[in-house]
């Protein structure tokens, strides 16, 4: 089983969309998935449950209980989504107070609350996907502390790519302080328009800078993704035969391969 976080300091790059649709694609590949909404905006939860039901969730049944140090039983905070093999650890706007800046200065116990909780459910899932807020405060830090790997969705117009630099520095901090085994699963280009030369140039630039860390599979810009969210379904359950679903499936397959390679590498490291 692998735990993987979606991290980018930049907002609106497709982190939540990636987690929702990947959860669907992975479940359709036969994997048991836990989707973790680690963003107080709770968009991933709204994607599964709808906005109003999400607002009305009692924080004791969400990730807020974990960050509050309440040590909830898994069954109290993890719920089925209605999609086979996908469970949800719901997010909560009440978790915003725990998302403190400068997480490396916070007590160690706070940094590992999410990791300790996920240890309890490790055996129940093949993949845990953690959606994170567009900042590098405690939520993203705790997610990386709990993760085997992180993936960085990037929009192909952010030529400065300052967001990703900060992510790499934050990941280095997590490795130094709390999780030396944290691996980079890779950069995933989202909202890609193959016919736009500016997008082609961006991807070429990204591959020059990061080589094999860039996923070969990209997520195209497509209205169906947002439509699927409106329908509260991962794209694979909304339009399973469409190009958008096919693209996400390719990303899911590549992610599985990368996570397997990371697991093999870390076992080899332990044995050495």
Q: Rule CB under 6 A: which residues touch ligand ATP?
A: 11-17, 39, 41, 43, 134, 190-191, 219, 221-222, 225-226, 229
Q: Which is nearer to Mg ion, 5 or 178 (CB)?
A: 5
- The CB-of-41 to ligand ATP minimum distance in angstroms stands at 6
Q: Which among Mg ion, ligand ATP, none contacts residue 225 (Cβ within 5 to 8 A by kind)? A: ligand ATP
Q: Are 180 and 165 in contact (CB under 8 A)?
A: no
Sign of the CA dihedral running 136, 141, 147, 148: positive
Q: Which among ligand ATP, Mg ion, none contacts residue 190 (Cβ within 5 to 8 A by kind)? A: ligand ATP
39-58: contacts with Mg ion (CB under 5 A): 43
Q: Are 9 and 136 in contact (CB under 8 A)?
A: yes
Residue 135 interacting with Mg ion (CB under 5 A): no
Residue 16 interacting with Mg ion (CB under 5 A): yes
Residue 21 interacting with Mg ion (CB under 5 A): no
The pair of structure tokens assigned to 21 is 């649709």
Q: Which is nearer to Mg ion, 13 or 149 (CB)?
A: 13
Residue nearest to Mg ion (CB): 16
Q: Are 9 and 105 in contact (CB under 8 A)?
A: no
- For the beta sheet containing 149-154, the strands, ordered from the edge strand earlier in sequence to the opposite edge, are 78-80, 86-89, 33-37, 127-131, 2-6, 149-154, 183-189
Separation of alpha carbons 196 and 200, rounded Å: 7
Q: Which among ligand ATP, Mg ion, none contacts residue 76 (Cβ within 5 to 8 A by kind)? A: none
- The CB-of-256 to Mg ion minimum distance in angstroms stands at 22
- The CB-of-237 to ligand ATP minimum distance in angstroms stands at 16
Instruction: Single out the residue of 15, 31, 137, 239 in contact with Mg ion (rule: CB under 5 A).
Output: 15
| Helix (H), strand (E) at residue 200 | helix 197-210
Beta bridge partners of 186: 151
Q: What values do phi and psi take at 247, rounded to 5?
A: -65, -40
Q: 229: burial class by Cβ within 10 Å (0-12, 13-18, 19+)?
A: buried
Q: Which is nearer to ligand ATP, 179 or 190 (CB)?
A: 190
- The CB-of-36 to ligand ATP minimum distance in angstroms stands at 14
- The CB-of-13 to ligand ATP minimum distance in angstroms stands at 4
Beta bridge partners of 2: 127
Q: Which among Mg ion, ligand ATP, none contacts residue 146 (Cβ within 5 to 8 A by kind)? A: none
* Contacts with Mg ion, residue ranges (CB under 5 A): 15-16, 43
């Amino acid at each position: 089983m692998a735990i993987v976080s979606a991290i980018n300091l930049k907002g609106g790059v497709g982190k939540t969309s990636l987690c929702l649709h990947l959860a669907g694609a992975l479940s359709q590949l036969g994997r048991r998935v836990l989707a973790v909404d680690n963003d107080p905006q709770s968009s991933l939860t709204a994607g599964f449950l709808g906005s109003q039901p999400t607002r009305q969730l009692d924080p004791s049944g969400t990730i807020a209980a974990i960050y509050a140090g309440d040590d909830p039983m898994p069954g109290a905070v993890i719920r089925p989504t209605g999609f086979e093999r996908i469970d949800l650890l719901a997010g909560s706007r009440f978790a915003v107070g725990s998302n403190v800046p400068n997480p490396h200065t916070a007590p160690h116990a706070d940094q590992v609350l999410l990791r300790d909780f996920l240890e309890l459910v490790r055996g129940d899932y093949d993949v845990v996907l953690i959606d994170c807020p567009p900042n590098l405060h405690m939520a993203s830090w705790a997610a990386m502390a709990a993760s085997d790997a992180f993936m960085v969705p990037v929009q192909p117009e952010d030529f400065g790519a300052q967001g990703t630099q900060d992510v790499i520095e934050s990941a280095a901090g997590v490795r130094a302080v709390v999780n030396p085994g944290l691996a980079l699963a890779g950069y995933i280009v989202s909202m890609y328009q193959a016919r736009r030369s500016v997008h082609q140039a961006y991807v070429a630039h990204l591959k020059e800078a990061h080589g094999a860390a860039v996923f070969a599979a990209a997520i195209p810009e497509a209205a169906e993704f947002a439509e699927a969210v409106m329908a509260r379904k991962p794209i694979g359950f909304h339009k399973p035969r469409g190009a958008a679903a096919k693209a996400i499936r390719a990303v899911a397959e590549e992610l599985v391969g990368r996570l397997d390679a990371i697991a093999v590498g870390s076992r080899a490291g332990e044995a050495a």
